[in-house]
Amino acid sequence: MNSSGALSALVKKTVEGLGYELVDVERLQRGLVRVTIDIERDGGISLEDCERVSDQLTHLFTVEDVSYERLEVSSPGVERPLKRARDWERFTGELAWVELFAPLKAEGFPEAGRRKLEGRIVGISGESGAEQIEFDYFEVDIARTPRAAALRARKKQTVEAAPVRVVFPLSEVEQAHLLVELNFKG
């Protein structure tokens, strides 16, 4: 099986049949097939979930004669990618980072516009294939490393500017993922 679309469809059917959500399938160099899965429950994906899906896909790839050297099954992690309309709907209200294919022009942006945005997902609307993302752009001030957390704790609080509400087509999103503030205090 050489078609990545056929492989994705085969993996999707198997993963969803086991009760998980398929986030992504990648065919990488040196025969690596990377499968990212998720589930809507507290605690997310466990090691046992990954093992269960890996075992099932190993058997499937043998039966379907899928050529690969290594199979990697994992969760999407805390900064989960946002790829489909249902991802945007599921994570409405959450902080996200977005990179667009072309600069977006809006009041409050530089004249040339912005391609990279941080802020909060407000919602998604529109028909399938023509979805529009409503997004509040603002400078997200979260600690992504222990050093940044320490600096942030010492920094004086500044007055934050009001967010800029923008709307852009889902089809214009090159890549996007959730932003999560990690607790480095233990």
Please give the pLDDT value at position 49: 95
Whether 42 has a pLDDT exceeding 90, the answer reads no
Q: Are residues 147 and 93 in the same domain?
A: yes
The answer to whether 117 touches 135, Cβ cutoff 8 Å, is yes
Q: Are residues 116 and 32 in the same domain?
A: no
Alpha-carbon dihedral of residues 46, 47, 53, 55, nearest 10 degrees? -160
Q: Are residues 105 and 138 in the same domain?
A: yes
Q: Are residues 18 and 68 in the same domain?
A: yes
**Average pLDDT over all residues of the chain:** 88
Please give the pLDDT value at position 35: 97
Tokens 């480095």 correspond to 184
Whether 74 has a pLDDT exceeding 70, the answer reads yes
- The reported pTM is 0.78
Please give the pLDDT value at position 44: 83
Tokens 């990377």 correspond to 34
Q: Is residue 183 part of a domain?
A: no
Q: Give per-residue pLDDT as tens, 138-176.
A: 988 776 666 766 666 666 555 567 889 999 999 999 999
The dihedral region occupied by 43, where left means phi > 0, alpha psi between -120 and 50, and beta the remainder, is: left
Please give the pLDDT value at position 144: 64
Q: Which domain holds residue 135?
A: 85-178
Q: Please tell me the least confidently modeled range out of 19-33, 59-73, 106-120, 127-141.
A: 106-120
Whether 24 has a pLDDT exceeding 60, the answer reads yes
CA angle, residues 16, 19, 25, in degrees to nearest 5: 40
Q: Give the total number of structural domains in the chain.
A: 2
If you ran DSSP here, which 8-state letter would residue 6 be given? H
Q: Give per-residue pLDDT as tens, 102-124.
A: 999 888 787 788 999 999 999 99
Which residue stretches of the chain are H helix? 4-17, 47-63, 85-90, 146-154
Q: Is residue 79 part of a domain?
A: no
| 46 pLDDT tier (thresholds 50, 70, 90) | very high
Q: Are residues 89 and 167 in the same domain?
A: yes
Last residue of a domain, one of 39, 74, 109: 74
Q: What is the mean pLDDT of residues 78-95?
A: 92
Last residue of a domain, one of 74, 106, 128: 74
Q: Are residues 10 and 64 in the same domain?
A: yes
What backbone torsions phi and psi does residue 149 show, to the nearest 5 degrees? -65, -40
Please give the pLDDT value at position 26: 93
CATH number, residue 19: 3.30.300.70
Q: Are residues 166 and 101 in the same domain?
A: yes
Q: Are residues 142 and 174 in the same domain?
A: yes
Q: Are residues 122 and 168 in the same domain?
A: yes
